[in-house]
Structure formats: C-alpha cells, structure tokens
Amino acid sequence: MGTPEFHFEAAVTRPLSVVFRSAERWEGHDYTVEVVAERQGLDGFDVVVDFRDLEAALDRALAPLQGRLLSDLGLDGPLALARRLAAELAPFAPPPAGLKEVALTDGQGRRLAVRP
C-alpha cells in the first residue's frame, strides 16, 4: 500500500468530436479529453480512484456531446465544455481523492485545462 507522504495521480482519456458555432462560422473539433484524479497515498487496493467508475462516468458525460453542436446544449466554447465536464466528474473522485483537472487537447496539440 502507498504511503500517505507520496502524492499520486491517475488519468483516463477518451476521444470527443464536437462542433462550435461562433458568429457565422462553424468549427468542428476533435479532442482528447483527459480527466486527472489525485490523492495523498493510495487506498487499500493501491489505487488513486476506481478507474472503472471514473471511465464509466466520463463515457456517460461524453455520450450526449459526441458529434453535437454545443451551442444547442448551452455551451459556448471549449472552456464551458471543460467546466461542465469537471462539474459532472468531480463526484467520481471522492475524498480523500479529488479531481485535479479536466483537459481538452485538440489535434494540433493545443491544450486547455480546468482545475476545479
């Protein structure tokens, strides 16, 4: 079992394709969504969080977004998208773990991260 003085992180990733509308322009984006959980020490199973729960939660959060025009869902851009995902996924990294960040990386390597 990990000792409490060590800080651990664990991440899950999934692809996401969405469309944004800005002014008169439509933009399609393919992202890699990365969700990072963290904690001091490890639990009794030597993990940060249960990956199955975090992956399932991420899959559920992304399913209604896949291929959608995000303004139809009340999201005006990548920052709003990352914030929504962070809010939805935070409960799946329960104390003593926590959600460290949700990051979106596009096909050109540009990365936007939100830390709750």
Q: Tell me, what's the pLDDT at 3?
A: 54
HEC string of 24-66? Answer: CEEEEEEEEEEEEEEEECCCCCCCCCCHHHHHHHHHHHHCCCC
Q: Give tens-digit pLDDT for 37-77.
A: 988 877 776 777 878 888 999 999 999 999 999 988 999 88
Q: What residue ranges do the domains of the chain occupy?
A: 7-114
Q: Would you tell me how many other CB atoms lie within 10 Å of the CB of residue 60?
A: 12
What's the CA gap between 13 and 101, in Å, rounded?
A: 12
Q: Give tens-digit pLDDT for 76-113.
A: 889 999 999 999 999 999 888 889 999 999 999 999 99
Statement: residue 1 has pLDDT above 80: no
Q: Tell me, what's the pLDDT at 33?
A: 98
Q: What are 105's strand-pairing partners?
A: 32, 111
Q: Give tens-digit pLDDT for 3-31.
A: 557 888 889 999 999 998 777 788 889 99
Domain 7-114 has CATH 3.30.479.10: yes
Q: Whole-angstrom distance between the N-terminal and C-terminal Cα of the chain?
A: 28
